[in-house]
A = this chain, B = another copy of it.
Amino acid sequence: MAKIAMLGSGFIGRFYADSLQGYRSRDKIVSIYSRRTESAQRFAEDYKVAHHTTNMEEAIANPDVDIVCIALPNNLHEAAVMLCCLHRKAVMTTKPLGRNAEEAKRMLQAVEQAGIFNGYLEDLVYTPKFIKALESVKEGALGRILWAKSRETHPGPHSDWFWDIEQAGGGCILDLGCHCVEITRSYIGKDIKPVEVMCWADTQVKPIDAEDHAIGLVKYENGAIGQFEVSWTFRGGLDLRDEVMGSEGTIWINSFLRTGFDMFTSGKGANYVAEKAESNTGWLFPVGDELNELGYNHMFMDMFNAMEAGEDPKETFYDGYVVNCILDAAYRSAKSKLWEPVQLDIWRGKTGVTKDSHLTEYDADHYLVKEEVTHYGAKKVILKNKKTGKIVERVME
């Protein structure tokens, strides 16, 4: 059983609490910290939390607490982490880890120096679909991974602090790109070094200082490409999709808007309000159990199982740090209009990986370009002569 101090009683804190306590879980929130008393109180009532406070350190230091869960605006992560180090409490923090790689690196070094359990709450690599997809990829069902794209777009976040670049540290690249980068990095291989980033970003619709739309490419040492598409200007709900291309296969995942649940309502029947949807009449696409589909349940399961086993969870502060480094490069690229190198002071994966070969042997003299069955049922191969480079076609009987 894990006993948790929750820092933050807002949208994400409540989402986490629903996952932590909403099922037949053996885990329990024992202390809630919020910046406002009423909010802390209401949370404590709603989730039957024994202790509430407006003093962050008090929540962390509470002797009942095994692990601290940070669900605060981005600019408060570092201070909270440092208190966890001080009091030697296990800590897990919401995404992104820092507002930039510098903050992230300090947090990483602090938790490792303090020797405390640290988890990075990147829920979207814990969705049931992702978990199964990654297994397939690891078993080789897609062959060599060539490209992995993740897209997260919606009409903008709910809370005001996201829209304030000082508190948030950035716009949709930081808010949504952190998910996409970790998803695609996982498909390509977390031990493969991200090398450089090209990013376009703009503020197209919202009257804000940060970007509300961005597209980025992340090049990895083995020649694979990661892509993120993020926006706060998308119309139609929450668009959450991944695509992976491998030399032997393809994966398409749609996590939200088309998951096999379609509903039409004229709106006459009742004043029905659908969650997160942009309308409450016409064709709607609900998700059965959001907490599960968004990966919260499997994420916390991994966190607590790892903590109890004295192991690292699948996602640690180190992963959060790598993500911040990639996003920093994206921000630099959006300004410089150049491919920007990913500056990784700390790198624990493989080094010196080279690009995979694109030369498939056919016979002593030829490479295989393509093999196909023609309309009339014959097998055809297109070959390239190794010496002359000439392309030839051969129809087999």
Stretch at the interface among A49-57, A61-69, A114-122, A201-209: A201-209
Contact of A260 with B268 at beta-carbon distance under 8 Å, contacts A146-B233, A279-B281, A339-B337 already known: no
Interface residues of A in 266-315 (CB under 8 A from B): 266-273, 275, 278-279, 281-289, 292-293, 297-298, 300-301, 304-305
B202-A223 in contact (CB<8A): yes
Most chain B beta-carbon contacts within 10 A, residue among A25, A198, A265, A367: A265
Most B Cβ at <10 Å: residue of A161, A249, A287, A300 = A249
Within 8 A of B (CB), among A23-69: 23-27
Given A225-B215, A273-B377, A292-B289; A235-B248 close (CB under 8 Å): yes
- A102 close to chain B: CB less than 8 A: no
Interface stretch, picked from A77-85, A86-94, A130-138, is A130-138
**B-chain residues with CB within 8 Å of residue A367 when the two chains form the complex:** 207
A158 at the B interface (CB under 8 A): yes
Chain B residue numbers with a CB within 8 Å of A304 are: 24
CA distance A293 to B392 in the complex (A): 31
Q: Which residue in B26, B164, B227, B392 is a CB contact (below 8 Å) of A24?
A: B26
Residues in B whose Cβ lies below 8 Å from that of A288 = 127-132, 293
Q: How far is the CA of A366 from the CA of B343 in the complex (A)?
A: 39
Flag whether A247 is at the interface (Cβ < 8 A).
Answer: yes
Within 8 A of B (CB), among A117-175: 127-133, 136, 139-144, 146-147, 153, 155-156, 158-161, 163-164
CB distance from A223 to the nearest CB of B (A): 6
- In the bound complex, CA of A249 to CA of B298 (Å): 34
Structural contact, A391 and B160, CB atoms closer than 8 A: yes
List of B residues within 8 angstroms of A146 by Cβ: 204-205, 213, 233
Write the nearest CB–CB distance from A269 to chain B, whole angstroms: 4
Asked whether, in the complex, the Cβ of B236 is within 8 Å of the Cβ of A248, the reply is no
Taking the nearest CB of chain B, how far is it from the CB of A118, in angstroms? 19
Tell whether A6 is near chain B: CB-to-CB under 8 Å. no
Listed in ascending order, the chain A residues whose CB lies under 8 Å from chain B are 1, 23-27, 127-133, 136, 139-144, 146-147, 153, 155-156, 158-161, 163-164, 198, 200, 202-209, 212-213, 215, 217, 219, 223, 225, 227, 231, 233-237, 245-255, 258-273, 275, 278-279, 281-289, 292-293, 297-298, 300-301, 304-305, 337-339, 356, 358-360, 367-370, 372-373, 375, 377, 382, 384, 389-393
Known: A136-B272, A249-B269. 13 other contacts (CB 8 A): A131-B289, A133-B261, A140-B270, A141-B269, A143-B266, A147-B213, A160-B392, A202-B225, A204-B223, A208-B369, A209-B389, A249-B263, A281-B282
